[in-house]
Structure 1
Amino acid sequence: MRTEKAGLSRGLNSRHIRFIALGSAIGTGLFYGSSESIQAGGPAVLLAYLIGGAAVFLVLRSLGEMAVASPTAGSFGEYANRYLGPLAGFVTGWTYAFEMVIVAVADVTAIGVYMGFWFPDVPRWIWVLAAVVIVGALNLVSVKVFGELEFWLSLVKIVAIVAMILVGIAVIAFGLGSGHVHVGLDNLWNNGGFFAGGIDGFVISFAIVMFAFGGTEIIGVTAGEAQSPEKTIPGAVNTIPLRIILFYVLTLAVIMSITPWQQIDNSGSPFVQIFAGVGLKSAAAVLNVVVLTAALSAINSDIFAAGRTMYGLAERGHGPAAMRRTTPNGVPWVTTLVMIGALLFGVVMNAVVPGEIFLIISSIATFATVFVWVMIMLTHVKARSQMSAEESAALKFPAPFWPYGQIITLVFMAAVLVLLGFHEDTRVALEVGAVWLALLTVVYVLAVRRRTGAGPQSAPAGAEAGTDSEERAGVAG
């Protein structure tokens, strides 16, 4: 076969997919961005993570239902194309690729911040450039090697988080190395109250909270390269609630119990700050290695997800044909190089505005992330509405709480987008998002629709699910 049609390889098993999802979801948003959400909402950010996590779980279950029923490269962009029309598929797919670029820029930015723990006088952009080169090279290997690498990188994060929680509990219980700060659970309500940031701060914290959950939808992207999607996808999706409680809520509760929330700043990872603050310097150094590993893992997953999404777009004629080119090992190398080139923008940003970049980038990423989630939910609603009662009953992995849970989640996601406009620092996300969506629409109308001959609506679901989907499945196999 020609190089551009060699196709993706199904080299990801259940273990790989679960940890790829962890790699993308448990990264900079938790290890670094949590300081921003804590500053905004105070201890009440714990409630924000629970609420946001519940909404994301419903998004993932809706995506999981579609992915199990029809595993395909490109995932939700393909589903939006099928059920909402080619324009929706085009906008959703490219917005997700854009999201992964922006999230990856945030991740490489965090690496520069973490390296400042040891080398405060070295310019941040140097570390950012090194990270882009290393992770980019790793993504050009086979998908199986990528899956193994991500498994071990994510395992390091999980072990470290569990260890941090256990050590943190010991510090709280026995006052180990308490230094000059008060340690105790009462830090969650004695420093201005649980809602210390006020209702406004609590609401604003959702901008960072939802950014932290960005990347979990990569579970759907992996469907095209999963060995047994009907088994691996449900297993990965159903573990999300436990991850949210353990890795976000419990972890941040320990952090704010050891160090009063108002003393946590964005000069580094709060994970490192808390142990440095109570005098456990060696533990702080070890954790800094861990958060570096976490950031590299997240970038690894970001490049994977964006590359596979752009590959799926090219398969539908929604992207340059060159993006279908793969290595003999089934890696879409052109899209990987595109991602590496985009990440070099992060190097420039870290050289020009190192102090302001993270909040700006995370806000834009939140817009792109939530927009994609909204499109996933709208696609799921349209797909379900076209099913008969018998077809719905035959679903192997049906989303729960249909249809009320989906409606509530859509309202919540829309509210998150609106609240971005109420804060001066996050308003830029709506401005950039509006320009991005307008640009995509113009490109689609002037270039893509003419080339593909697509009308405003896609073909009927049954037709596309037949011949076209079978052809794509053959390409992905």
Structure 2
Amino acid sequence: MSRGLSSRHIRFIALGSAIGTGLFYGSSESIRAGGPAVLLAYLIGGAAVFLVLRSLGEMAVSSPSAGSFGEYATKHLGPLAGFTTGWTYAFEMVIVCVADITAVGVYMGFWFPHVPRWIWVLAAVLLIGALNLVSVKVFGELEFWLSLVKIVAIVAMILAGIAVIALGIDGGHAHVGVSNLWENGGFFANGAHGFVASFAVVMFAFGGTEIIGVTAGEAESPEKTIPSAVNSIPLRIILFYVLTLVVIMSINPWQNIDTSGSPFVEIFAGVGLKSAAAVLNVVVLTAALSAINSDIFAAGRTMFGLAELRQGPAAMRRLTRNGVPWVTTLVVVGALLLGLLMNVLMPGEVFLVISSIATFATVWVWLMILLTHVKARRKMSPEETAALKFPAPFWPYGQMAAIVFMATVMVLLGFSASTRVALVVGVVWLALLAGVYALWVRPRRPGPEAVLDTTEATRDDLPELELDGSGSERR
């Protein structure tokens, strides 16, 4: 495929994928669960995710791959592990995208209440899908600007909130000040149980950062761009989340935060901005479009990588002349249109499944990345380890601690009625994938040498391949 993503693109793709619904809306749920102690939960969760990304970064720099998770897991843990990991991530991206694309219709209804919602949804799907088909550089530029708007808005909200606190504007609340973090029942206001329960929401909020690994196959100089992105993204996201929540809970005591809407409204209300609703609507609309753009990219590239390993339909290996996997992109677009129909027919059930699988799949993929990295490191000789260009830190104790942490989060999903369905649906999904693998993929798998040689697999796709000056095929 074409390498058209610069370091600037990759940084903002990861930010755009990770900063969205989890921050604009989900943060209210985590605050209600953990109280002010949720700040500590975000710091701990962020540290664990940083170890995941460093482990992924080590593998991505050593072996840049568009399939990323699935290909690495197949190589080091076996084809079944790669199959379940790759398809779980691809499906996660699709179902999260279904939720975001439906939200676009809701957001546009704010300005055009009489226009049918499906028109905006269809327009967004076709527009973003078409832009993803042009070239990876167009995708990268689009995501850069969408993410930039979103990040500027978040910074503006944080600065506005700090001004409210510094000037002592009460904004209609009982008290405004940093002391709200410890005066309303203490820092651990909901006790250890609430603090632990908040991790289920907190970890989902960091989902999307792993898209850095997917971009490796199309990154310019991955040995430089990947380390730069991996080292900067976690810190930026932690700062965004922690600073935002400090401001929100300082302006409005944590127990007063309404979970039915976005806590960012509290900042605008404190400032007294009359057009708060319109401004917020622009921000959440941009956030939704940014997430859709990244999710279509991630799902399509992951399915392409799975097809390269004979773990998906052969047609998914087809490329345009610009090196874009057009079949997988169209599959994702088609799934979004099908998801829209499902939301119309059974909205309640669909959203429940979407949130459940997305939560489970995010932590599952992180856990598999860590296990893959551990297996890969243990197979290396001391000379190979010393030659690593971007080695993960704290080996092996940091990785072991992160694995235990991720497994604990998975178990925690079963202790709450609101998140237990995520664990149930996730187990059913993995069992379904195992059945598909046993019945369809495993009997058709060629030997290892055929899996590694994918040149012959695309000989029938010559119209979609570009030739370089020597007449050789260039993917």
| Matching residue within 3, 9, 23 for 2:2 | 9
CA contact (8 A) 1:124 1:354 kept: no
Tell me what 1:286 maps to. 279
- Report the secondary structure of 2:145's partner residue: helix
Give the structure 1 partner of residue 289 of structure 2. 296
- Paired position in structure 1 for 2:138: 145
List per-residue Cα deviations over 1:331-355 (Å, max 9, x = no partner).
2122112212222354345445657
Residues 117, 268 of structure 1: 8 Å contact kept:
no
1:275 equivalent to 2:275? Answer: no
Cα 1:114–1:356 change in 2 (3 A) is: farther
Q: Does 1:371 pair with 2:364?
A: yes
Tell me what 1:4 maps to: none
1:19 is aligned to: 12
Which region of structure 1 is more displaced relative to structure 2, 371-380 or 277-286? Answer: 277-286
Q: 1:35 to 1:117 in 2, by over 3 A?
A: farther
Q: Deviations over 1:412-445 (max 9, x none)?
A: 0000111111111111111111111111111111
Structure 1 residue 139, shift from structure 2 partner: 2.0
Q: Give the 3-state SS of the residue equivalent to 2:320 in structure 1.
A: coil
Question: Is residue 180–residue 278 contact of structure 1 (8 Å, CA) maintained in 2?
Answer: no
- 1:46 aligned partner: 39
Task: Give secondary structure in 1 for the equivalent of 2:275.
Answer: helix
Q: What's the CA shift for 1:114?
A: 4.4
Question: Which of 65, 89, 102 lines up with 2:58 in the alignment?
Answer: 65
Q: What's the counterpart of residue 354 of structure 2?
A: 361
Structure 2 unaligned residues grouped into runs of 5+? 458-471
Answer whether contact 2:143 2:293 (CA < 8 A) is retained.
yes
Structure 1 segment 103-118 matched on structure 2, within 5 A: 103-111=96-104, 114-115=107-108
Give the direction of change, closer, same or farther, for the CA distance of 1:268–1:400 in structure 2 (3 Å limit). same
Residue in structure 2 matched with residue 320 of structure 1 by the alignment? 313
Q: 1:130 to 1:235 in 2, by over 3 A?
A: same
Q: Which runs of 4+ in 1 moved over 4 A?
A: 112-130, 352-360, 467-472, 474-477
Residue pairs, 1:2-401, within 5 angstroms: 8-111=1-104, 114-115=107-108, 128-176=121-169, 178-276=171-269, 279-348=272-341, 350-351=343-344, 361-401=354-394
Structure 1 CA distance for aligned equivalents of residues 253 and 106 of structure 2? 22
- SS of 2:179's equivalent? helix
Quote the offset at 1:109 in angstroms. Answer: 4.7
Opposite residue 102 of structure 1, the aligned amino acid is I
Computed over aligned residues only, the root mean square deviation of the Cα atoms, in angstroms, reads 2.7
Higher relative contact order (CA 8 A, sep 6+): 1
Quick one: distance in 2 between partners of 1:262 and 1:119? Answer: 34
- More displaced stretch, 273-282 vs 221-230: 273-282
Identity of aligned residues (%): 80
Aligned counterparts of 1:381 and 1:447: Cα–Cα separation in 2: 29
Q: What does the per-residue CA deviation read over 1:385-416, in whole Å, with 9 as the maximum and x for residues that have no partner? A: 01111111110000000000000000000001
Change (3 A) 1:345 1:175: farther
Closer/same/farther in 2, CA of residues 380 and 35 from structure 1, 3 Å limit: same
**TM-score, with structure 2 as normaliser:** 0.90
CA contact (8 A) 2:356 2:426 kept: no
Equivalent in the alignment of 1:3: none
> For 2:263 and 2:184, how far apart are their aligned partners in 1?
18
Query: Partner letter of residue 378 of structure 1?
Result: L
CA distance in 1, matches of 2:473, 2:397: 37
Change (3 A) 1:277 1:362: farther
Shift of 1:116: 6.2
Task: Classify the secondary structure of the residue corresponding to 2:239.
Answer: helix
The Cα shift of 1:141 comes to 2.1
Distance 1:151 1:220 in 2: 17
Contact 1:225 1:476 in 2 (8 A): no
**Aligned CA distance change for structure 1 residues 360 and 449 (closer, same or farther; 3 Å):** closer
Q: Is the 8 A contact 1:207 1:363 kept in 2?
A: no
Residue type at the aligned position of 2:49 = V
**Shift in Å at residue 82 of structure 1?**
0.6
